Amino acid sequence: MSFVVAIDGPAGAGKGTITKLVGEKLGLVNIDTGATFRCVALNMIQEHIDIQEEDKIEKMLTKINIEMHPDGKIFLNGEEVTHRIRENDVNNFVSPVSVLPVVRNKLLEVQRNIAKGKNVIMEGRDIGTVVFPDADVKIYLDATAEERARRRVLQNQEKGIECSYEEVLEGIKDRDKRDSTREIAPLKKAEDAIYVDSTNLNVEQAAEKIIEIIKQKA
Ligand code: DC
């Protein structure tokens, strides 16, 4: 028997950091499904496969091996790619890759297998709606686009990346639109998910709120 907590929501709502903290506090295995899409995008870059080349993508996906180790390290076909999948070329390519039905179908199987037999907290865009529609707890973590842009600008400043607030806000609004209007597995709150707004909460407060919800349901 496994226990599944699904955390969905838009980019910048704090899913990654908050999920990690909640997982550590409750002893749940933390699974970042965005990383699986990033691995596919990286594999395509490595093999010089274009987004239109469906046959080649399909062939590549029959051989792909994605491993997520308990220490947070991610391996693609035996090579550690934990940091590599966060680089700019992958950032820019992953969104169109994540729309491809052939990729989503394959990753559905990969994500379900990774969680098999474990107690997990899994974050993504369609976990409560598609990957685990029967999840024990479903949370939809949100924040206003303005707050998410403010957080992204701060993160960029810490990394020494120059950007304007307006430019980042526009990017976030574009991505929200693309993620929520795509045909397959669009970003949307599952009917039975609990809505958590992190706009006015720091990481600790949001984690506490989610822990309370999980404890009530468990
Ligand atoms: O959360 P992230 O930025 O690492 O996600 C990378 C991309 O993958 C992003 O464009 C959205 C997509 N994604 C998805 O479509 N479904 C998921 N369950 C997780 C991520």
In this structure, are residues 36 and 110 in contact, taking their beta carbons and an 8 Å threshold?
Answer: yes
Query: In this model, does residue 55 exceed pLDDT 80?
Result: yes
33 CA to centre of ligand 1 in angstroms: 7
Q: What is the pLDDT of residues 26-42, one digit of tens each?
A: 999 999 999 999 999 99
Grade residue 107 by pLDDT with cuts at 50, 70 and 90: very high
More confident: 43 or 72: 43
Q: Which distant-in-sequence residues (6+ apart) come within 8 Å of 175 by Cβ?
A: 10, 11, 95
Query: In this model, does residue 91 exceed pLDDT 90?
Result: no
**Relative to the CA of 127, which ligand 1 atom is closest?**
18
What is the pLDDT at residue 186?
85
Grade residue 24 by pLDDT with cuts at 50, 70 and 90: very high
Q: Give the predicted TM-score (pTM) of the model.
A: 0.91
In this structure, are residues 187 and 8 in contact, taking their beta carbons and an 8 Å threshold?
Answer: yes
Query: In this model, does residue 12 exceed pLDDT 90?
Result: no
Q: Tell whether ligand 1 has an atom less than 6 A from the beta carbon of residue 171.
A: no
Which spans in the chain are helix H? 15-26, 33-46, 54-63, 88-99, 101-115, 145-158, 165-181, 203-217
State the average pLDDT over residues 133-152.
96
Q: Tell whether ligand 1 has an atom less than 6 A from the beta carbon of residue 95.
A: yes
- How far is residue 4's CA from residue 192's CA, in Å, rounded to a whole number? 14
Query: In this model, does residue 142 exceed pLDDT 80?
Result: yes
Neighbours of 3 (CB within 10 A): 16
124 CA to centre of ligand 1 in angstroms: 6
